[in-house]
Amino acid sequence: MSFADMPSIGTATGSRVDSAAKHIMACKVDTRALQNWMDNASNVYDKENQLHTNKMKWCMHKDEIVLNTTRKKDQSDACAKAYPMVVTTLGDIHTHTMEYMKVLYAQQSAYDFYTVWKNTTWNGFCDCAPKLVQPLAKPKKILPNDENRVMQDTVDMQIKSLPEFRCQGVALGQAWASYLSGDTVASVLVGGMMTVLNGHFAMHTGDEVQWYFDFEKDSFQSCAGLDNGSRNSGDVNPRKSKDIYMDQRLYGGNSGIGKSSGLKQTDKVVRIKSYRMCRSPSNGTTASVMPQSDHYGDKSRVFAKCISGGRPFDAVDIMLMTQSS
């Protein structure tokens, strides 16, 4: 079977996989993390109002990949919680912070990964980044002037308080980011089988499944064959109308009639793909990267096994193993 032209079982039949054994946990949307990722709100009351007014933009939807945000880099908000703190979107996080995260997860070795991780400011990250960002573009420092002061403070705060993201599971219900909108707690499947939306790359039965952020898609190859979804930089398959339609069904990305309650930005959500080991380019220019070697930034995000694969943006069946991955 070729995934280039044939739909997955879930897409073709409109059915879902189910398993008798399930592990389900109640999880709470991390309101404080989402507030920290806002740019245009001046105080906590404005932020709370935004979470409520644009509630569909910040909420946890059913069938979304859920990330645990309990452990923060600066150990802030480290008090005991009644529920695991989770998010399914990065909301309005700054583009500089996204660039930092893109470089962070592009590191092949654990040493380089934590060299980037220990930086708590954007300019400090730029100092250590030149030898770590290949083949990504070199980040530029923020000039210390009055015009950039607010932006620099925002980016530094977001980098300093960045969570140590871990996959919690797949959302089984809907939870809001603000208590003004409704219940902030929903059930999350952390063990068992589930039908979910595939990401930008073909997935095959038996593959290890990792999560990644939508804005990282340019870091992976979209070519056919074994290198599909690997870390070598390449062009991404252009999105088709069917892909956009599937996104609109899952994330509510289509504006409706009446007053809008916000639309989720799909470039800030979490996707899934097959984990691929690193392969050195055919011209041999990157001798330090051995053929078929593990990639720490990706391997640390493996959380499931593929039971039934499919094309990009097809419905695929996965078996979650967050406890043993």
Task: Tell me what percent of the residues of the chain surpass a pLDDT of 70.
Answer: 74
Q: Tell me whether residue 107 is in a domain.
A: no
Total domains in the fold of the chain? 1
Does the structure show a pLDDT above 90 at 212? yes
Q: Tell me whether residue 295 is in a domain.
A: yes
The CA angle 66-68-72, to the nearest 5 degrees, is 145
Task: Tell me what percent of the residues of the chain surpass a pLDDT of 90.
Answer: 31
* pTM, to two decimals: 0.86
DSSP annotation of 271 reads: E
pLDDT of residue 198: 92
Residues 238-277 have pLDDT tens digits of 656 666 666 666 666 555 554 556 677 788 899 999 998 8
Q: Tell me whether residue 165 is in a domain.
A: yes
Helix/strand/coil for 149: helix
Q: Structure tokens of 153? A: 């403070």
Please, where are the H alpha helices in the chain? 9-13, 31-36, 44-53, 55-58, 95-104, 110-117, 122-128, 146-160, 241-251, 296-299
Q: Tell me whether residue 114 is in a domain.
A: no
CA–CA gap between residue 118 and residue 17 (Å, rounded)? 41
Residues 22-53 have pLDDT tens digits of 899 999 999 989 988 886 555 666 888 888 88
Q: Do 34 and 91 contact (CB within 8 A), yes or no?
A: yes
Residue numbers of the domain that contains 74 = 1-97+161-252+263-275+291-325
Higher pLDDT, 275 or 235: 275
Residues 72-92 have pLDDT tens digits of 887 766 677 789 999 999 988
pLDDT of residue 66: 96
* Average per-residue pLDDT for the chain: 81
Name the nearest CA neighbour of 59 among 37, 93, 24, 88.
88
CA–CA gap between residue 192 and residue 305 (Å, rounded)? 10
Cβ contacts of 117-120, under 8 Å, gap ≥ 24: 117/73, 119/159, 120/73, 120/74, 120/156, 120/159, 120/160
Q: Tell me whether residue 186 is in a domain.
A: yes
Distance between terminal CA atoms of the chain?
Answer: 28
Q: Structure tokens of 207? A: 């593959």
Ranges 7-11, 107-111, 232-236, 308-312: which has the least confidence: 232-236
Helix, strand, coil content of the chain in percent (nearest 5): 25, 20, 50
Q: Tell me whether residue 36 is in a domain.
A: yes
pLDDT of residue 142: 75
- Sequence-distant (6+) residues with CB within 8 A of 165 are 67, 68, 69
Name the nearest CA neighbour of 152 among 41, 45, 39.
39
Residue with tokens 């996965």: 318
Q: Tell me whether residue 280 is in a domain.
A: no
Q: Tell me whether residue 116 is in a domain.
A: no
